[in-house]
Structure 1
């Protein structure tokens, strides 16, 4: 799904929720929030990085990337995912 389309769907859904509430329909905000959160996870976000290339004892390289949504930690050299395995956030690995 392309990023522009996802952004449009999120905005359209927010408007539908507002209009439905104004018309008296009983929409649980918790359900709507979950739907919006799931859609937003399809928008790529850059992971954060931590580490300086060395383990505390200086014997091997140990760097981590951190999911921008759930803050899960993964090893840079071993854990290369398109989506975070913990929360499903789409990741943007571009420079």
Structure 2
């Protein structure tokens, strides 16, 4: 897992690249690009990218280590909701869905 062909680094870099594509999509909608951002804004955006990138990466890693007990599409839905709706809205959605099953 170490060295030139380190799978860990490759997957992490691909994940970051995917988040950067989403950033570019948001900026394009606002008719901006990364070069239009001030240094302070770019640093803040970088922290947000890393937060979501590492969060998704390590959640996926834990899913694998725990034996992939839920289907991949279910995990993808959960992580997508967390990324797009945020922490509190994601928890509310999960809790409301579970209340309906009781």
Give me the TM-score of the superposition, normalised by structure 1.
0.32
Q: Which has the higher strand share?
A: 1
Q: Which has the higher helix share?
A: 2
Give me the TM-score of the superposition, normalised by structure 2.
0.30
